[in-house]
Amino acid sequence: MRDVAVIGTGLIPFGKYPDKTLADLGWPAVKMAVKDADIAPAKIEAAYCGTALGGMMAGQRILGRVGLTGIPIVNVENACSSSSSALRQAVMAIRSGEYDVVLVIGVEKLTKFGGGTLPLEKEDWEVSQGLVMPALYAMRAQRYMHEYDLTPAQLALVSVKNRRNGALNPDAQMRKPVTVEEVLASRPIADPFTLLQCCPTGDGAAALILCEAKLARQYRSDPVRIAASDLTSGKYTPGFRDMTIPEITVRGAKEAYEEAGLGPQEIDVAEVHDAFSIAELLYYEAFGFCERGSAGAFIESGASAIDGKIAVNPSGGLLAKGHPIGATGAAQAVEIVRQLRGECGARQVPDAKVGLSHATGGGISGFDHGVCCIHIFTR
Amino acid sequence: MRDVAVIGTGLIPFGKYPDKTLADLGWPAVKMAVKDADIAPAKIEAAYCGTALGGMMAGQRILGRVGLTGIPIVNVENACSSSSSALRQAVMAIRSGEYDVVLVIGVEKLTKFGGGTLPLEKEDWEVSQGLVMPALYAMRAQRYMHEYDLTPAQLALVSVKNRRNGALNPDAQMRKPVTVEEVLASRPIADPFTLLQCCPTGDGAAALILCEAKLARQYRSDPVRIAASDLTSGKYTPGFRDMTIPEITVRGAKEAYEEAGLGPQEIDVAEVHDAFSIAELLYYEAFGFCERGSAGAFIESGASAIDGKIAVNPSGGLLAKGHPIGATGAAQAVEIVRQLRGECGARQVPDAKVGLSHATGGGISGFDHGVCCIHIFTR
């Protein structure tokens, strides 16, 4: 099977851009990735664009702005995993031999819906009765705290760490560090979550250029290899099993490690899906970064800080970098590639060689049906 | 490269189902395809679901109903080519060796938007000024009639033929045959189109099961081979070129014929994207079924009738079978497969050996950016 490498990354700072169109958001990220790869746009053979709520033909609208209209363009929707799923389609397309160079875009404009939780699909009766994302994750947090004596202060440390990292990231939406006391004193959202434990609403775009690995050095001397690309789905209806175990992430992690021939002990840096504070802790355990039930102690020890054992969410994660749904997976991959290249300045993870990105979600009307997409990168 | 065959087809009758959810629409088509393939659901390794306006996680919602939640599911959006693009992703995934058996779904519920033309993306200034789909195609029709002396009666023949075919198709939304006089006397929509020259609004779902060709005979004795799978995109802004030439279809047809090693003279049956009467005529020429400027004479001669030289839209096409956007590409493929198997009863094309499906569109806010997906099937 052919190998795939990343040769270009692009990202706009995440934030609120109510006056920009989806195309306005996307094309600068694409241009940056093209420039970063030092590639002629005509070499790009196909594009996959991930967006969850961007409407029809997002990729075509964006690429129309940069004159890349003649290539096959496919838009991919998989809730919070939209652009990581797009990345996986691009990986598969290059591995198959169909293309050598493929563009991946992630884009979302959430400000068009106003603030707060996302618009609901009426057909999901659980959501229509109030089981929106913050409530769902809050139930998981409650159960975890019941099972494992996680303290509210430990839970708040996720926001403290990720805000600290975000303050070092010029592309992050939230750049102000916060203390445990500030996190716990912020507005209650869904007990035990306060406002600062929920990812913000925002807009953003990210792009990557992928290339068949043998050709990659034509463009850059430091291509980053994609060692694993895994997509899983499954039910995660609360109640049908232990809601403190993110089953699809556990399964996906196992598959991704197998594909890469690597284990958690080899991961230097990870961008995981910290949509709410508890999420990051559950994923530490799902990825084997620490033992079951010990995630609170793990973060408290500093093990997941930038200079810790495994740097988790050095970008600031969803909590600080922001979470424009469809842009998230691509943006995570951009961060990992830049970390492995040593381009991350103040938030650089020392000597990062192996990185992991993880986007998982269930969609507006999809609490019943989760999706999880994991990539492992090596240099 | 590995070959891909279709082993199962499923379809619900297209129509208006305002009380059904997207999942309600989709799961019966999936079940029918599974039964048709005589395959154990556990053999299905992945699924691609095409929908343009179905909201987040359509595939997961549908497959949740039939217990197929653990497999990788990717939702694909490409306007009117959504499920044909999903079909192409499935073909690529099998060709690459990633999977042996893949499910394709196309689904849409347009009744949730009420009637008439689709909701608009505000960011497209042409659309917001009135250049909705009927208006765009009407301009093309006007220009074609100016250039080639196509008569209104010849134009109306597209609706007459497709309504005649639809009357023979129990799954068609419009099952009443109409005369040229009735077509021309129906309510004006966008000159020269009357109501009966515009595809109806409706809901629907279709599904296919694809299998690596060598394994296909384990399931069915009559697998239908996918000889070409092509996706193109491009601008089709009115005015920048001759709007009577559907450039992306012309380019896609050339690529698809090359991939299949076949030409228009070998096509027995085609499902082409007759969203409006003029469209079918333009596509006759784009596919080389007749000479440029002769499409009016071609249909008048009966060459595109079920018993003609090349049967076009024996299902009734978008004009009679209906056009639930995201379901259309998969439904076209279902029709072609069933025609090649000889299962089409009253609308069966005699001894059909080679078939073609063609879905093209530009999306709500994508007039500027077209997409075209073509498949060629052989038995």
**Cβ contacts of A188-192, under 8 Å, gap ≥ 24:** A189/A134, A189/A138, A190/A134, A190/A135, A190/A137, A190/A138, A191/A138, A191/A142, A192/A138, A192/A141, A192/A142, A192/A145, A192/A152, A192/A155
For residue A19, give every residue at least 6 positions away whose Cβ sits within 8 Å of its Cβ, in sequence order, or none: none
B35 and B133 assigned to the same domain: no
Q: H or E segment at B159?
A: helix B152-167
**b (16+ CB within 10 A) / e for B231-265:** bbbbbbbeeeeebbbbbbbbbbbbbbbebbebebe
Which pair of structure tokens corresponds to residue A203?
Answer: 């807009």
Residue B157 within a domain: yes
Helix axes B247-260, B277-286, angle to 10 degrees: 50
Nearest-angstrom CA–CA distance, A64 and A285: 43
- Taking chain A (379 residues) in runs of 10, the rounded mean pLDDT of each run is 95 97 96 98 97 92 86 95 98 95 97 73 70 87 94 98 98 98 97 97 97 96 97 64 83 97 98 97 97 97 98 98 97 98 98 97 59 96
Tell the residue number behind the tokens 């809601």, with chain if given: A243
Q: Are residues B215 and B351 in the same domain?
A: no
Higher pLDDT, B23 or A126: B23
**According to the model, what pLDDT value does residue A119 have?**
58
Phi-psi region of B225 (alpha: psi -120 to 50; beta: other; left: phi over 0): beta
Would you mind telling me the total number of residues written for chain A in this entry? 379
Q: How far is A227 from chain B (nearest CA, A)?
A: 15
Q: Does any domain span residue A118?
A: no
Give the count of Cβ contacts less than 8 A between chain A and B: 157
CA distances from B283 to A4, A67, A254, B47, B295 (A): 38, 25, 49, 30, 9
Q: Do B163 and B293 fall into the same domain?
A: yes
Residues A132 and A99 reside in one and the same domain: no
Question: Lowest mean pLDDT: which of A44-58, A356-370, B128-142, B325-339?
Answer: A356-370
Q: Are residues B92 and B130 in the same domain?
A: no
> What's the alpha-carbon Rg for chain A, to the nearest Å?
19
Nearest CA among A11, A67, A7 for reference residue A36? A7
Q: Taking CB atoms and an 8 Å limit, are A234 and B70 in contact across chains?
A: yes
**Given B225, B259, B279, which residue is the final one in a domain?**
B225
Q: Which of B373, B376, B365, B374 is nearest to B129 (CA)?
A: B365
Inter-chain CB proximity A56 and B121 less than 8 Å: yes
Q: Shortest CB distance from B73 goes to which of A74, A364, A371? A: A371
Cβ atoms of A325 and A105 within 8 Å: the answer is no
CB pair distance less than 8 Å for B93 and A92: yes
Structural domain for A80, as ranges: 4-112+203-224
At residue B4, what are phi and psi to the nearest 5 degrees? Answer: -125, 140
My answer on whether A61 and A207 are in the same domain is: yes
Residues of chain B contacting A63 with CB distance shorter than 8 Å: 369
Residue B255 tokens read as 């690529």
B366/A70 touch (CB, cutoff 8 Å), yes or no: no
Please count the structural domains in chain B: 2
B33-74 pLDDT per residue, tens = 999 999 999 999 999 999 999 988 899 989 988 888 789 999
pLDDT digits (tens, 9 = 90+) for A315-347: 999 999 999 999 999 999 999 999 999 999 999
Active-site pick, A323, A344, A358, A375: A323
Domain contains A305: yes
Q: Does some domain include residue A117? A: no
The Cα-based distances of B65 to A141, B22, B24, B52 in angstroms read 28, 11, 8, 20
* Residue B340 DSSP SS3: helix
Option in B56, B72, B364 nearest A363 (CB): B56
Number of Cβ within 10 Å of residue A258's Cβ equals: 12
Is B374 in CB contact (< 8 Å) with chain A?
no
Q: Which chain A positions have a beta carbon within 8 Å of B231's beta carbon?
A: 72, 74
Same domain, B140 and B218: no
For residues B149 and B191, the model is more confident at B191
pLDDT of residue B26: 98
SS3 of chain A: the string is CCCEEEEEEEECCCECCCCCCHHHHHHHHHHHHHHHHCCCHHHCCEEEEECCCCCCCHHHHHHHCCCCCCCCEEEEEECECHHHHHHHHHHHHHHCCCCCEEEEEEEEEHHHHCCCCCCCCCCCHHHHCCCCHHHHHHHHHHHHHHHHCCCHHHHHHHHHHHHHHHHCCCCCCCCCCCCHHHHHHCCEEECCEEHHHECCCCEEEEEEEEEEHHHHCCCCCCCEEEEEEEEEEECCCCCCCCCCCCHHHHHHHHHHHHHHCCCHHHCCEEECCCCEHHHHHHHHHHCCCCCCCCHHHHHHCCCCCCCCCCEECCCCHHHHCCCCHHHHHHHHHHHHHHHHHCCCHHHCCCCCCEEEEEEEECCCCCCCCEEEEEEEEEC
Q: Which has the minimum average pLDDT: A123-132, A247-256, B14-23, B329-338?
A: A123-132
Question: Cis omega (within 30 of 0) on the bond before B28?
Answer: no
Which has more confidence, B131 or A212? A212
Q: Please give the structure tokens belonging to residue B106.
A: 């196309």
Residue listed under structure tokens 């399931």? B219
* Spatial distance between the Cα atoms of A15 and A173, rounded to a whole number of angstroms: 5
Tokens of A324: 């424009």
Q: Whose CA is closest to A260, among A226, A236, A289? A: A226
**Domain of A42: which CATH number?**
3.40.47.10
Query: Taking CA atoms, what residue in B is nearest to A121?
Result: B55
Same domain for A208 and A174? no
Cα separations in angstroms, A312 against A202, A338, B42: 21, 14, 36
* CB contact at 8 A, B106 and B51: yes
At B358-368, the pLDDT tens digits run: 999 874 434 45
Contact B299, B178 (CB under 8 A): no
Q: How far is A135 from chain B (nearest CA, A)?
A: 19
Question: Last residue of some domain: A191, A224, A257?
Answer: A224
Q: What is the pLDDT of residue A123?
A: 63
List beta partners, residue A203: A15, A109
Could you tell me if B31 and B141 lie in one domain? Answer: no
Contact with chain B for residue A351, Cβ under 8 A = no
Nearest Cα to A332, choosing from A83, A42, A25, A13? A83
Do residues A204 and A322 make contact, with C-beta atoms less than 8 angstroms apart?
Answer: yes
| Mean pLDDT, residues B7-32 taken together | 97
Q: Are residues A245 and A310 in the same domain?
A: yes
**Is residue B118 domain-resident?**
no
The interface pTM score, or ipTM, of the predicted complex is 0.94
Q: How far is CA A303 from CA A179, A300, A307, in A?
A: 18, 8, 8
Lowest mean pLDDT among A109-113, A327-331, B226-230, B311-315: A109-113
Give burial (CB, 10 Å; 0-12/13-18/19+) of B43: middle
CA–CA distance, B283 with A234 (Å, rounded to integer): 41
| pLDDT score, position A238 | 43
Q: Identify the closest residue of chain A to B74 by CA–CA distance.
A: A78
Residue B116: inside a domain, yes or no?
no
Rg (CA), chain B: 19
Contact of B79 with chain A, judged by CB distance below 8 Å, is answered with: yes
Q: Are strands B193-194 and B188-190 parallel, antiparallel or unpaired?
A: antiparallel
**Does the annotation count A198 as an active-site position?**
no
Yes or no, beta carbons of B74 and A231 under 8 Å apart? yes
- Identify the active-site residue in B80, B211, B372, B373: B80
Do B150 and B26 reside in the same domain of the chain? no
Cα A103 to Cα A95: distance, rounded to the nearest angstrom: 14
Task: Band the pLDDT of B373: cuts 50, 70, 90.
Answer: very high
| Model pLDDT, residue A128 | 74
B323 is catalytic: yes
Q: Is some CB atom of chain A closer than 8 A to the CB atom of B282?
A: no
Residue A319 near residue A277, CB atoms below 8 Å = yes
Question: Is A120 within a domain?
Answer: no
Whether the CB-CB separation of A279 and A243 falls below 8 Å is answered with no
Identify any residues that bridge with A209 across adjacent strands, giving them in sequence order. A8, A103
Q: Tell me, what's the pLDDT at B124?
A: 67
Q: Given CB atoms, is B70 within the 8 Å cutoff of chain A? A: yes
Domain contains B61: yes
Instruction: Residue A121: list chain B partners with CB under 8 A.
Output: 55-56
Region B318-331 average pLDDT = 98
Domain co-membership, B215 together with B246: no
The per-residue pLDDT of chain B, averaged, comes to 93
Catalytic residue (choose from B199, B290, B323, B372): B323
Nearest to B73 among A61, A121, A233 (CB): A233
Rounded Cα distance between B154 and B198, Å, is: 15
Q: What confidence category does residue B242 fall into, taking pLDDT thresholds of 50, 70 and 90?
A: confident
Per-residue three-class SS string for B38-53: CCCHHHCCEEEEECCC
